[in-house]
Amino acid sequence: MPAVRVAARLDVKGPALVKGRSMEGVRKLGDPADFARKYADDGADELVFVDVVASLYGRCSMLPIIDRVSAHVFVPITVVGGLRSVEDMAQAMRCGADKVGINTAAVARPALISEAATAFGSQAVVVSIEAKRRGDGYEAFTDGGREATGRDAIAWAHEAAALGAGEILVTSVDRDGTMQGFDLDLVERIAAGVAVPVVVSGGCASADDAATAARRVDAVAIGAAFHAGRVTVAQVKAAMMRDGMRVRPVECAA
C-alpha cells in the first residue's frame, strides 16, 4: 500500500504567501520560498502552490517563485492556477513543477485534461476542484471559489479522472483557512469510486484531524494550520502512523 502523502499548501498572490478564510480576505504572511524550504526541511512530501488570483488576471504569475524554489527544494512541486493551455503547463514544468493543476480552464474546456495527459502523462495532470456545499450536495466553483459552475463536484471529479487526470485536488471552500476540521462528508464522496489519487485540502484542525481524513484519501494538503504553527509535518505523520498508515519518515526527507 502506498505511503500517505503530507503536502504543504502555499497560496500565493503576487510575490507573497497569503492565506484567507473561505478563499477570501487574504493576508500576507511572507516569502513563499522561505516557507517552502521550511516545509521541505520539516519532511513534507510535496509542495502545492496555488496562485489565488491567476484566474482574475488570466495568467500564472508565480512561475519565477517556482523557479527559485525548485533550485533549492527537492520535493515534488504542484503548480495550480492560471494554466490555460498545454504550453502554459510546459512552461510551469520548465520552471520546476512536477505536476500541473487546472481548474477554470478544465471546466471551460474539459478536452484540455486529455490533451495534457497525452502531452505529459496522466501522473503529471491534476484537476483542482473547489467545492462548496449546496443543500445535500456540493457544487464545483472556479476563480478562488468565486464563480459557480453549475457542475456537481463529485460527478466532475469522476469525469475529470475519466478524461485522463492523474490526481484530483479537492478543496472545501467552506472550510478553507478556518482550521475547523476537514469536511469528511466531501472527502468521502469524492474519494468513493474515483480511480485516481485524491488530495484533500481545506480546514485542517489538528494532526488527528489530518489522520482521520487521510484514511479515506491518498494525501492531505495543509496550509493555514502549518503557517500558524498549529501543527507540524512531524506531528501529522506521527498521528498517521499511530493509526496504522504508512508514511515517508521525516528523517529521510530532503
Candidate from 112-121, 129-138, 152-161, 188-197 with smallest mean pLDDT: 188-197
Give the count of beta carbons closer than 10 Å to the beta carbon of residue 39.
26
Task: Tell me which residue of 46, 47, 149, 56 sits closest to 106, measured CA to CA.
Answer: 149
pLDDT score recorded for residue 254: 36
pLDDT tens for residues 45-74?
A: 999 999 988 766 666 789 999 999 999 999
CA dihedral 239, 242, 246, 252 (to 10 degrees): 60
As a whole number of angstroms, the distance between CA 195 and CA 197 comes to 7
Q: How many residues does the chain have?
A: 254
Task: Tell me which residue of 220, 230, 159 sits closest to 187, measured CA to CA.
Answer: 220
* Helix 32-42 vs helix 63-70: crossing angle, to nearest 10: 40
User: May I ask the CATH class of domain 5-245?
Assistant: alpha beta
pLDDT score recorded for residue 60: 75
Q: Tell me the pTM.
A: 0.94
pLDDT tens for residues 112-146?
A: 999 999 999 999 999 999 999 999 999 999 988 88
* pLDDT: which is higher, 245 or 58: 245
The cell 466531501 sits on which residue? 186
For residue 254, give Cα distances in angstroms to 41, 115, 123, 146.
Answer: 6, 33, 22, 37
For residue 111, give Cα distances in angstroms to 42, 78, 128.
Answer: 38, 21, 15
User: What residues does each domain of the chain span?
Assistant: 5-245
The residues annotated with a catalytic role in the active site are 11, 130
